[in-house]
Structure 1
Amino acid sequence: MKNIILAILLGSSTLIQAQNSISGTVTDSKSQPIKGVSVFVADLHKGTVTDENGNYTFNNLPNGTVKLSFVFGGYNTQYTTLNIQQKETILNVILEETIFQMDEVIVSTAFNKLQSQNVMKVEHETMKSLQQKGTSSLIEGLATIPGVAQVSTGTSIGKPVIRGLSGNRVLVYSQGVRMENQQFGDEHGLGLNDSGIESVEVIKGPASLLYGSDALGGVLYFNPEKFANAHTFKANFSQKIFSNTLGSNSSLGLKTSSEKWKFLARGSYNTHSDYTIPGKNRVTNTRYNESDFKTGIGYSDAKFSSVLRYNFNKLDLGIPENGIDKQSTSKKTTYPKQGVYNNLWSLNTIFFFQNSKLDVDLGYIANDRSEFEDSDVAILHMKLKTFNYDAKYHLPKLGKVETIVGIQGMHQTNKNAGEEYLIPDAITNDFGIFGTGNYDWKSNVIQAGLRFDNRAIESESHGIVGEEGSFQAINKTFHSFNASMGYKTNLKDNLTLRLNLASGFRSPNLAELTSNGVHEGTNRYEIGNNELKTEQNVQSDLNLEYKNSHFEFFANGFYNHINNYIYTSPTGAVIANNVVFDYIQNNAKLYGGEMGLHFHPHPLDWLHFESSFETVTGQKQNGDYLPLIPANNWNNTIRTEFNIKNGLSDGFATLNVSNTFHQNNVSGFETKSNGYTLVNIGFGGKVKLGKTVFDINLNGNNIFNKSYIAHLSRLKTDGVPNIGRDIVLGVLFDM
């Protein structure tokens, strides 16, 4: 791995450099210069801001195609593609004022276009907007996005659910690398901290064309924070405190850049006591501690751009077993508990040619997970090491046709070092090849692609055949062809239609193929099935959007048919007081969607009203309902924006009412769930005290201390409610 990194970072620096530059002026519709516009060249990880005259300059740019984004609050984002054919290029830009949120460049799809130009509807949320909601963890923030939910174990462990699909059916990307952290387990969370993450993009539907196996249900794509602008040094410190868990979240970041070199580092620490339910009791051993460190170094010139990033994440997680038991405010976890160490290295390098480019992503993840039952000796210890590679070649553009071809793969080893085994020692190898094209004319865009994948899994035998925890050796190969096609058009000036049809697949994981014992957290004896076939789905999506200067509306509908859907089913037998479940397959379907509106009445420029509704239904071929399907939700927010002279700028106040409906459509071993309504409030802005400037957030979540049990809570079977009222105070200092 080190040799590959050095070869790309240092060896490529001998290439001949060009000295191209772009400069220009950014003005508004009245030809007035705009100061402070963020101008960014994504491929080079290079940014700047316009000066008081609206001017900007970039040097050391490559020949061929360069994409620039121009972003400023209160104005529409511009995303411009230039084909540089001379040493000095002048690009003047006019930004149009807008009331609604800025258009965003989407990087999780193939051609990195603005959302308004994208064939596929992708949800984009900044970490700042999620953190303003006062949630205590990254996954709780994600669950506020329409179409996204979480399977939770208290406040510390959460698994994402996209339109009713979870586990290995949802792929998570960080730093351009697919996360592999034993995600088959019910009590295995994301293993990501929101510090050092700039935004998240949510693809709701099969994305196997770009991401291969496990993207059958969708993708969560986390964008890391950007480097500092050239010739600047930045530092910031943030602190959040949580009343319910007596929690604290601290983060310190430093970054600097020269014309070609860039560097950043960020450390954070997160600690929480057991969470409190209405009635002031605490749920025993839901406490947790998290340490996180991220760093990155980058180099760019006219021939190539390369960024090396590293993320270390350490989790100390209590596992609640006895519900409401011994009361404590301690943050030291007790038994049983988990210790998780995650090391993620990523290297992204883009090579620029005359009219094309090669984008190469390499990743290495070492995930070390231990479980302690009643002592410091790990009863379960799993070591997962994964090497990922992804190379995409952007061919020269032919008229209005853009084309990408690529290869993608993974080599993974799983080793056990504890007394108990959940899955056997195994080696997994993936290889995929794909191609996709994009054609646009006037307000129309067509995008299509094709992909072939092969996965080989080879595991070792363990234990005595017939006894709990024993595994027979397997040697399995799975393969799949997948395709996607999308069409986007503007029916009228303010009305956009998107229609997408895509297939996806998921190979069965080791737990489904080999399980033989009491699976952690389920209280079930699970028996795997090495004859399982690949899950294969086809999903159709329809998106309709309307927008004018004071009103936005969207409606998303989907239908997802899955062949060979894998699930567990009781056999009627009992082993060691645990009901036996087999892994079996059946065809299934999921359907539903999201709709919402954003109203900004004129002339009340300070007032916003947002409302969204989401629904999903999941059924097996025989009409029975699928498990772990989130309940319908209707979410309403009133937001005001204001400034207080000599005190508060960019101020906001929010009132949110979230209505979750009864969930009566449950599988055979689930129970129905009652509906509930939560009220949340928020206040914040930028405060200036003398020369000191800082951002402040004050949130009250579940302000009326409502007692409720979410349908996807794993503590539901014990009758344990979710978290009660939580007051969150956060401050951010830029230095």
Structure 2
Amino acid sequence: MKKLYFILSLLWICTAVAAQEHKHHYNHEHPSDSTDVFFRHLKLNELVVTGVTGDTKLKNSTAPISIVSSKELRQTTSTNIIDAIAHQPGVSQITTGGGISKPIIRGLGYNRIIVMSEGVRQEGQQWGDEHGIEIDAQNVNSVEILKGPASLMYGSDAMAGVLILHGSPIQPEGEMKATVSTEYQTNNGLFDYSLNFAGNQKGFVWDARFSDKYAHAYKNKYDGYVPGSQFTERAGRLMLGLNKRWGYSHLTWATYHQTPSIVEGERNEVTGELECTTNNVKTYSKALPFQQIKHYKAVWDNSLNLPKGWLKAIIGYQQNRRQEFEDDEDEYELYFKLHTITYDLRYLSQELNGWKMAGGVNGMWQQSLNLGEESLIPEYKLFDFGVYATVSKSLNSLTLNGGLRFDNRHLDFNSRNFSGVTGSIGAVWNANEHLNLRLNIARGFRAPNMSELGSDGIHEGTLRYEIGNPDLKPEYSWQADLGLDFTSQYVSAQLALFANRIENYIFSKRIDLVMEEGFRTYEYTQGDARLLGFEAGVDFHPIHCVHFQNTFSYVDAQQMHASEEAKYLPMTPAPRWTSELKYELSHHGHKTLNNAFVALGLECDLAQNHYYKVDDTETRTPSYTLLSLSAGTDLNIRKKKVAEIYVTVDNLLNTAYQNHLSRLKYCDMNNATGRQGVYNMGRNVVFKVIIPVI
């Protein structure tokens, strides 16, 4: 902790010194800068979000929403899109090695989060611990993070929130854009490149992209290289459409192929070294056991301009093929094939006398097939239907919002039917040009998924034998959110408090039963739960070129009326503090180096002492602190931008650590050192270049 206090003090002193040295210089030599900076920080309130009642200014949203901009994504080091946003307040990730991440929002994940991409919900067997999100990070331009069940547009499974992944905006009329981007990471040898070509000619629009990525095993100070953490990824996307006065019609086709190997964590009993099944631990080729995932998506997105609003219709088809290979590269043991058709019809009204309304119907049809030698979950068919209506009213400085939704889901497994009525009501008070206060109360609903109901077998990627419970009931929740946003010329601050009560919370617990030698046995159960927590953030910017940003996230997730060992819910993220001191250089387009910056970052994850102890399902995770250093700039030649260049050093001190949500934490013990499990990635130097060709 002494090191932590020293680092914080150093960051604060640097900020104070910079403010004193530059305060008068910038106020006198560049009198317009302070005004520009003032509006630059206030514009956060003018950002438009789409996930509540159509297009709404962020300051008028009653639901807790945060936005990750295109600039932030470009400057962030990651191996996938979930990894890229996992440092946002209230957001975490469950990881399996270097390439697989699952989102967590305020302590909840899996089928409690809906991921929206290309206007449809992503469906890819997301019930699995080691099933990542089959989306190319290069296709994501910005992200909306909706926290909690306040949005009624998405239905069952949005109990924890919604991640809306926005693609690049349509090019202006008569313009074309072509870019080439590439990235290299030293720790795992990750190399990727992406080619993009988009344009708009007389209303005919297109956007084409091809991406390729591959990485060998990552390494850390305690384990060396981690066999089985290598992966390859290849993705493509083509959008063609029309943008006219009557609206638009876009047809999108996307493919995603990933081949991640599986970290088993088996060790030599004498030396403690991780066992490698290949001759070269740094191979980019797949090694047994491994997964092979292929995801295909076709979406037809339409919007019709009406006299007093918009009518939107989106139809999507997805096919997800997930194969798991254990002993033979040419013979899969598990093969899930999932077909999904989604539909969404909605009407959004224009604002009239302060009133805005939205309503619609949406849902999906699914069929899951087992084509492998083994099966983990039964084959099933599912039909999902929902209808909703929302309304908002602006009264000077007060905005009110509310709505209702009904969902019904039929599952042919044991002919189960699940239905629920949900709703949301909230208010935002714009106290003045600097301060916003918001309050929202929402009811959530989630039907149990097929894995929770019918699992019975070995899940190779999780090293577990899983047993479902066909008698599970649907989850219902009540969540209250209280928020405060303050923005001024020199300080921006946010505080979000939440309380969430869930009836029939479903989770898996370890049981003292051996179904298969070498595999832990887990069984799904449920009970009532409550989650309390908050996210806080403050950004000091005493002068236009210096930012000192801090965030803190905390969630306390408990099972009600449970014993001391079963008191805390599993997979709850540890309290986390992040801090960044950033110095931005010139923003003048005629300079050779434009929009340049240097930044020192800190992430401190406190010890997680609140964990699910029954049958050693989880163990305590000690605290750790990570430092990062980054720099970036636009390179201009003859007043024209020819490249964006970014360099980042993550885990600067090469700290050996285990995140509480890392599934590799529970791999075999190292008998030589007494350490349990596999550790996270060590120091990683990242180089990224984006080149605009047109």
TM-score by length of 2: 0.88
Secondary structure, counterpart of 1:413 in structure 2: strand
Q: Structure 1 residues 394 and 574, CA, compared in 2 at 3 Å: closer, same or farther?
A: same
1:367 is aligned with what amino acid?
N
CA deviation profile, 1:517-542 (whole Å, cap 9, x unmatched): 23344444332221111100010001
Name the structure 1 match of 2:307.
354
Matched, 1:422 2:376: yes
Equivalent residue number for residue 602 of structure 2: 657
1:714: Cα distance to partner?
0.6
Equivalent of 2:531, from 590, 611, 633? 590
Give yes or no for contact 1:131–1:141 (8 Å, CA) kept in 2: no
Shift, 1:395, TM fit: 4.3
Is the aligned partner of 1:513 residue 2:453? yes
**Alpha-carbon distance in structure 2 between the residues aligned to 1:670 and 1:279:** 21
Q: C-alpha displacement at 1:689, in angstroms?
A: 4.2
Counterparts of residues 207-286 of structure 1 (less than 5 Å): 207=150, 209-278=152-221, 281-286=224-229
- 2:657 and 2:200 map into 1 onto residues whose CA distance is 49
Q: Which piece of structure 1 moves more, 116-125 or 559-568? A: 116-125
Q: Secondary structure at the match of 1:728?
A: strand
> Relative CO higher for 1 or 2, CA cutoff 8 Å, sep ≥ 6?
2
> How far apart are the structure 1 equivalents of 2:438 and 2:601?
29
Give 1:405-554 correspondences, 5 Å limit. 405-459=359-413, 474-554=414-494
When residues 717 and 441 of structure 1 are mapped into structure 2, their CA distance, relative to the original with a 3 A threshold, is same
Q: In the superposition, relative to structure 1, how do residues 140 and 395 fare at CA in structure 2: closer, same or farther (>3 Å)?
A: closer
Say what the alpha-carbon RMSD is for the aligned residues: 1.9
How far off is 1:124 after superposition? 0.4
Listed as ranges, the gaps of 5+ residues in structure 1 are: 1-33, 35-72, 77-95, 460-473
**In structure 1, which of residues 325, 336, 347 is the aligned counterpart of residue 275 of structure 2?**
325
Partner of residue 128, structure 2: 185
Distance (whole Å) between structure 1 residues aligned to residue 411 and residue 142 of structure 2: 34
The CA deviation at 1:727 is 0.3
Q: Which residue of 2 aligns with 1:9?
A: none
Confirm whether residue 729 of structure 1 aligns to residue 687 of structure 2: yes
Distance, in Å, in 1 between the alignment partners of 2:79 and 2:350 is 46
Q: Which amino acid aligns with 1:710?
A: N
1:80 aligns to what? none
C-alpha spacing 1:373/1:590, structure 2 compared with 1 (3 Å)? same
Matching of residue 123 in structure 1 with residue 66 in structure 2: yes
Structure-1 separation of matches of 2:369 and 2:89: 38
What's the CA shift for 1:398? 4.8
Q: 1:703 aligns to what?
A: 652
Contact 1:115–1:121 (Cα < 8 Å) also in 2: no
What's 2:673 paired with? none
- Counterpart contact for 2:199–2:207, Cα < 8 Å: yes
Residue 145 of structure 1 aligns with which residue?
A: 88
Give SS of 2:655's match.
Answer: coil
* Aligned match for 1:676, one of 598, 608, 624: 624
2:222 touches 2:679 (CA, 8 Å); kept in 1?
Answer: no
- Residues 99, 516 of structure 1: alpha-carbon distance in 2 compared, 3 angstrom cutoff: closer
Distance verdict in 2 for CA 1:516–1:400, change over 3 Å: same
* Structure 1 residues 438-478: Cα deviation after superposition (integer angstroms, max 9, x where no partner): 1001111000000111000013xxxxxxxxxxxxxx21000
Q: Per the alignment, do residues 725 and 628 of structure 1 end up closer, same or farther by CA in structure 2, a change over 3 Å counting? A: same
1:562 aligned onto 2:562: no
Q: Give the match's secondary structure for 1:361.
A: strand
TM-score computed with the length of structure 1 as normaliser: 0.83
Aligned partners of 1:373, 1:74: CA distance in 2, in Å?
Answer: 62
Residue 3 of structure 2 corresponds to none
Deviation string 1:114-173 (CA, Å, 9 cap, x unpaired) is 212222231100243133122232221111111000010111111101000011111111
Question: In the TM superposition, what are the counterparts of 1:602-613 in structure 2 within 5 Å?
Answer: 604-613=543-552
Q: Which digits, 9 at most, give the CA deviation of each residue in 1:338-378, with x for residues without a partner?
A: 11110111121111222232111111111111111121111
Match of 1:685 in 2: 633
| Aligned-partner Cα distance in 1 for 2:366–2:580 | 44
Q: CA deviation at 1:622?
A: 2.0
Provide the secondary structure at the position in 1 that maps to 2:357. Answer: strand
Counterpart of 1:554, as a letter, is: Q
Q: In structure 2, do the counterparts of structure 1 residues 100 and 273 end up closer, same or farther at CA, with 3 Å as the change threshold?
A: farther
After superposition, residues 55-74 of structure 1 pair within 5 angstroms as none
Report the alpha carbon displacement of residue 571 of structure 1 after superposing the two structures with TM. 4.5
1-structure distance, mates of 2:40, 2:458: 56
Contact 2:63/2:150, CA 8 A, preserved across alignment:
no
* Contact 1:208/1:503 (<8 A) preserved: no
Opposite residue 611 of structure 1, the aligned amino acid is N
Q: Distance in 2 between matches of 1:422 and 1:207?
A: 34
Which residue number corresponds to residue 618 of structure 1?
557
Structure 2: which amino acid aligns with 1:514?
A: G
Deviation at 1:397, TM superposition (A): 5.1
Residue 391 (structure 1) aligned to one of 342, 345, 364: 345
Paired position in structure 1 for 2:670: none
Between the aligned partners of 1:289 and 1:631, the Cα distance in structure 2 is 30
Following the alignment from structure 1 to structure 2, what is the Cα–Cα distance between the partners of residues 476 and 300?
43
Aligned counterpart, 1:174: 117
> Using the alignment, how far apart are the partners of 2:507 and 2:602 within structure 1?
35
Measured after TM superposition, the shift of residue 105 of structure 1 is 1.4
1:216/1:506 contact within 8 Å kept: yes
Q: CA deviation at 1:246?
A: 1.0
Opposite residue 500 of structure 1, the aligned amino acid is N
Measure, in 2, the Cα distance between the counterparts of 1:286 and 1:212: 35
Count of aligned residue pairs for this structure pair: 629
Residue in structure 1 matched with residue 24 of structure 2 by the alignment: none
* Distance (whole Å) between structure 2 residues aligned to residue 214 and residue 385 of structure 1: 18
Q: Which residue of 2 aligns with 1:133?
A: 76
Supply the distance in 2 between the matched residues of 1:605 and 1:107 (Cα, whole angstroms).
Answer: 30
